[in-house]
Amino acid sequence: MPMETPSSHSLFAHIASRELFRVPKRHRMDGFVSGFNETGLLAVQHNAEDTIPLSLSFCKTSKFGHILAVSDEDGYITLFDTRRNFPVTANFEENSEKVKICHWVSHQNAVFDTCWIKEDTQILTASGDQTIKLWDVQEQKCLGVLTGHTGSVKSMCSHPTNSDIIVSGSRDGSFRIWDLRCKSTAKSRHGEVGICSMGGVKGAHISSQARRTRRGKAAPMSITSVLCLKDQVSIATAGAVDSVLKFWDTRNLKSTVTQTSPSPQSAEKQTLHGISSLSQDESGLFLSASCMDNRIYLYNTLQLDKGPLKSFSGCRIESFFVKSAISPDASNIVSGSSDGNAYVWKVDKPLEDPTILKSHDDGEVTAVDWCSSEIGKLATCSDDFTVRTWNKNSYVSSIQCASAIRRRVMAIPSIECKMLLNNGKRYSKTNEDAFLPDDALHPITSPTPITPPKMNISEGHTNQLSSRLDLNASSEKTPESALKSPSSVLNPPSSLKRTIRDYFLASSKTL
């Protein structure tokens, strides 16, 4: 039931109720308290049979940011509307049916990763059947199949400004780069359009000391995570063999640009620990790596030669299914854990005890994800066949300084800003639609077909992305880091080429 809005009230009260990001209204009180409240409990099951969730992915746009995609061992993709909160005592099977938007079988095998693209109208699914599929979300129709890997596809990531370009990492030890506009004339036996890889690197993470992990969760050369960095030409990769992070230039894949690890010294006498996941904040300045030594390492992409800035401990990472993620605003890091809990650290206080999210009953907590449109909102999933959503509850002093008020006011149109800052007049709300977002129950709309070389990104969204790519503005840059950081060494082309193929140089290592 929509909330009734009075015809007239102060602009400050209006903005406070919306909090600019459509976060639920918070009580105001003196002092500061921080924690996380469980807001939703969902069962992952099909035909009354429980199944283990493997990945979580919130939509990326603010309009659809409340929609959560969950993939599982049975090959299903399920979309949930996470705006609705339920009491902890509610029946979570009934909860799931109430908030479920849709679900469909995407692969006849486990789906290890999902990736939203095209303004959240399309989604990619990476599977144990060695393929990636591109889906029209509205129609649940397969638009293409990315074939070429010879092992399970464990991770994928889209280009920060051109979602037609995708990078994927596989258990076969290779990472590959794809352009969704380059479709093959051949079709699969199911009539699906094929999309072939434009290039990549075999054996990207191989060590002479490689050995199988105790639980055998991944092959020694397996690539466990890939990221497209915000400089638009760099790729970060990590593997199961050791804790080394490698950085590559997509225009020339002959060798890595640089690499880093928690222990830059010689690893000849050191125990090797693999990486289970990588993540980056919205600006791309910080990169986190979840390591099998039970630590999360935080790197500055402008100072990779210095190794990790900080490390966070307290969780147990005993399988490559346990993931971690840094929040979009780089204020927190959340990680799953093999002890059945999830852990949240403050990035600026690595030595402080983490907040422990204890609600999962049994089995390790694996995938985690932050909502990019609602600050402090996250989701966790577990081998107990459930997905849980959480909201950060932070209370700040009710007395705000003038500069803080000004920062909030400057986020709204200039006429209202001047009116409030100069004479404090009350704002008469004459156009609700100008402030309130669309809250349709099923907000997914039909996508625009892929037509090269035009990109399906709105001008406003493009401007937002461009404004967030300036890493130099938010980090001190030393001469040493300038020589070795991807964002400094790699100079993006003046404009995107028609396909990613144009970036590559011939090399014996390319696929």
- Mean pLDDT score, 96-111: 94
Inform me whether the pLDDT recorded for 216 exceeds 60: no
pLDDT band at 208 (very low <50, low <70, confident <90, very high): low
Which domain range does residue 228 map to?
38-209+217-394
pLDDT for residue 132: 97
In a domain? residue 347: yes
* From 165-169, 379-383, 469-473, the region with the lowest mean pLDDT: 469-473
Inform me whether the pLDDT recorded for 292 exceeds 70: yes
In a domain? residue 442: no
Q: Taking each helix axis from N to C terminus, what angle separates 414-423 and 402-409, rounded to the nearest 10 degrees?
A: 150
pLDDT digits (tens, 9 = 90+) for 454-499: 334 344 444 433 333 333 333 444 444 444 444 444 434 444 433 4
Inform me whether the pLDDT recorded for 417 exceeds 80: no
In a domain? residue 437: no
pLDDT for residue 264: 61
pLDDT band at 76 (very low <50, low <70, confident <90, very high): very high
pLDDT for residue 511: 58
Tokens in use for 241?
A: 């063999």
In a domain? residue 506: no
In a domain? residue 400: no
Tokens in use for 426?
A: 């009350």
Of 213-217, 349-353, 404-408, give the range with the top mean pLDDT.
Answer: 349-353
In a domain? residue 492: no
pLDDT for residue 220: 64
- Mean pLDDT score, 424-429: 39
- Mean pLDDT score, 138-150: 95
Inform me whether the pLDDT recorded for 343 exceeds 60: yes
pLDDT band at 75 (very low <50, low <70, confident <90, very high): very high
pLDDT band at 404 (very low <50, low <70, confident <90, very high): very low
**How many whole angstroms separate alpha carbon 334 and alpha carbon 60?**
18
**How many whole angstroms separate alpha carbon 449 and alpha carbon 199?**
24
Instruction: Match 């692969």 to its residue by tokens.
Output: 107
pLDDT band at 34 (very low <50, low <70, confident <90, very high): low
Global confidence as pTM: 0.72
CATH number at residue 184: 2.130.10.10
pLDDT for residue 272: 80
Q: Which residues contact 111 (CB under 8 A, 6 or more apart)?
A: 54, 55, 71, 72, 75, 76, 77, 125, 126, 127, 128
Average pLDDT over the chain, rounded to an integer: 76
pLDDT for residue 35: 85
Total structural domains within the chain: 1
Q: How many CB atoms lie within 10 A of CB 490?
A: 19
Tokens in use for 50?
A: 């429980």
Inform me whether the pLDDT recorded for 14 exceeds 70: no
pLDDT for residue 433: 35
- Mean pLDDT score, 336-362: 92
pLDDT band at 393 (very low <50, low <70, confident <90, very high): confident
In a domain? residue 457: no
Inform me whether the pLDDT recorded for 450 exceeds 60: no
In a domain? residue 298: yes
* From 117-131, 360-374, 393-407, the region with the lowest mean pLDDT: 393-407
- Give one DSSP letter per residue of 442-498, joined into a string: S---PPPPP-TT-----HHHHHHHHHT--GGGGS---HHHHHH-HHHH----SS--S
pLDDT digits (tens, 9 = 90+) for 296-333: 999 999 999 999 999 999 999 999 999 999 999 999 99
Q: Taking each helix axis from N to C terminus, what angle separates 402-409 and 11-18, rounded to the nearest 10 degrees?
A: 80
Residue 483 in contact with residue 213, Cβ under 8 Å? no
Which stretches within 304-439 are classed as H helix? 402-409, 414-423
* From 40-54, 179-193, 388-402, the region with the lowest mean pLDDT: 388-402
pLDDT for residue 494: 44
Express as a percent the part of the chain with pLDDT over 70: 63
